[in-house]
A = this chain, B = another copy of it.
C-alpha cells in the first residue's frame, strides 16, 4: 500500500463492515459518503458546512478541474484541499466518466481518450498516464485509475472490450508517478455480468491498488439488477482494501450496498436535488415547492439537528424557492448533506453494535 495510507476493518455485521481509512490529511470512518465538489466547491455550501454535516472526505472532478482553473494552477495553490479551503482528505476521479458524458467528439483508443472541451472546444488528450499526472498535480489523497465505463445497456462484447482496455490501462497506471502519499484505486467494470465482474476484480486485486472501486453501476440499469450484481460481487472484493461503489446513490441504494460490504460512496444526489427543491427525510423525500408547505411552520425534517432545520420553517423555504433566492439552495443542501451524514454515522454505529439490518429497516421506514 501507499505509505501513509491504510485501511482497517473494525467490525463486521454480516457482510457489512465498519472501519477507518487513514490518509496523510486525516481519517475517514467507513462506511463513508463523499459529497461531490465538482469544480473545487460543493455547490451552494462552504467547506465548513460540508464538514459539519459529518463528511470526512470530498470528491473533486478531474475533468472539470483540468479545464478550469487547470491542474497546474491548483498545484501552485497547494493542491485541491488547500485551494478550496477544505481541511481534510480529497478523492479525485480520473476524468474519464465526465469525458464520456460531457465532452464532445470523444475518440477512445488503447492509448486513452481524445476529446473536445465542452467549454471552448479545445482538443485534449487524456492518456492513462496523464490521468494520473493531472491527479498528482491536484494532489488528492486518493486518485482513481482511468477506466472505460460502457453504458448500462451495452452488449456483453462491449463490456468485455471495456474490461480488457481498463486492465491494460491499470497496468500502465499502477507504476505512474503520483503525489507523495497519494493512494491509487483501481476500477472494476463488467456491467451487470457477474462473471465478468468477478474476473475483472481478480485481475485488479492482483495489482497493488490501495482500494478497489466498482464503476459502471447506477448508469441506467434497473435498480434490482444493480442489487443482484452487488450481492454477488461486493463480498468477493478484496476484504483488506476499501471497497468503493462509484456514483451511488439513494439512501436505500447506499444501505443495500453497505449490507453487501461496500465502504465508500459518492453521489451528487443530496446536493443536486437540493437545488431542485428536494429534501431527504426519513422514509422519503419532500419537494419544498409544493403548495401544501405554503404555511407550514415545521422544519424540513422534524427532529433534524441541522442548521437549516434548527432555524428555518418550510413556509419560509418554500417562499425562497418560489422567488428564486439562492439561499434556499444552500439551506436544502446543508440539510441533505446532514441527512446523508446521519445515515452514514447511523450505519457505522449500527454495524459496530451488530444491528445493521434493524437500522436499515428503521431508516427506510
Report which A residues bind B (CB closer than 8 A): 39-41, 43-48, 64, 68-69, 73, 76-77, 83-85, 294-295, 297, 311-313, 315-316, 319-320, 322-323, 325-327, 329-331
What is the minimal beta-carbon distance from A277 to any residue of chain B, in angstroms?
15
Say yes or no: A40 contacts B77, CB within 8 Å: no
Given A45-B327, A85-B311, residue A316 in contact with residue B73 (CB < 8 A) = no
CA distance A297 to B294 in the complex (A): 45
Q: Which residues of B contact A313 (CB under 8 A)?
A: 77
Give me 16 other A-B pairs in contact (C-beta within 8 A), A85-B311, A326-B326 excluded.
A39-B320, A40-B320, A41-B320, A41-B325, A41-B327, A43-B326, A43-B327, A45-B327, A64-B323, A68-B319, A68-B323, A69-B294, A69-B322, A73-B315, A77-B297, A83-B315
Q: Is the CB of A44 within 8 A of B315?
A: no
A47 to chain B, nearest CB (A): 8
Given A46-B327, A313-B77, A316-B40, A68-B322 contact (CB < 8 Å): yes
Q: Which residues of B contact A319 (CB under 8 A)?
A: 39-40, 68-69, 73, 83
- What are the residues of chain B within 8 A of A315 when measuring CB–CB? 69, 73, 77, 83
Partner of A43, one of B40, B48, B322, B325: B325
Residues of chain B within 8 A (CB-CB) of A64 are: 323
Contact A85 B322 (CB under 8 A): no
In the complex, chain B residues whose CB is within 8 Å of the CB of A330: 46, 326, 330
* A40 proximity list for chain B (CB < 8 A): 316, 319-320
CA distance A319 to B41 in the complex (A): 10
Which 5 residue pairs across A and B have the least CB separation, nearest first?
A69-B319, A41-B325, A39-B323, A85-B311, A326-B326
Whole-angstrom distance from the CB of A346 to the nearest CB of chain B? 27
Q: Provide the residues of chain B in CB contact with A329, threshold 8 Å.
A: 326
Closest Cβ neighbor of A322 among chain B residues: B68
In the complex the two chains form, what is the Cα distance from A320 to B312 in whole Å? Answer: 27
A/B interface sample: 10 pairs, CB < 8 A: A39-B325, A46-B311, A46-B331, A73-B319, A77-B313, A77-B316, A83-B315, A84-B316, A326-B330, A330-B330
A75 to B59, CA, bound (A): 44
Q: Which chain B positions have C-beta within 8 A of A47?
A: 311
Residue of B nearest to A328 (CB): B41
The smallest C-beta distance from A160 to any residue of chain B, in angstroms, reads 38
Q: How far is the CB of A62 from chain B (nearest CB, A)?
A: 15
Residues of B within 8 A of A297 (CB): 77
Chain B: minimal CB distance from A200 (Å): 35
Task: Report Cα–Cα, A295/B69, bound state, in Å.
Answer: 10
A318, closest chain B residue (CB): B69
Chain B residues whose CB sits within 8 angstroms of the CB of A69 once the complex forms: 294, 315, 319, 322
Return chain B residues, CB-CB under 8 Å to A84. Answer: 316
Given B41, B45, B73, which contacts A294 in the complex, CB threshold below 8 Å? Answer: B73
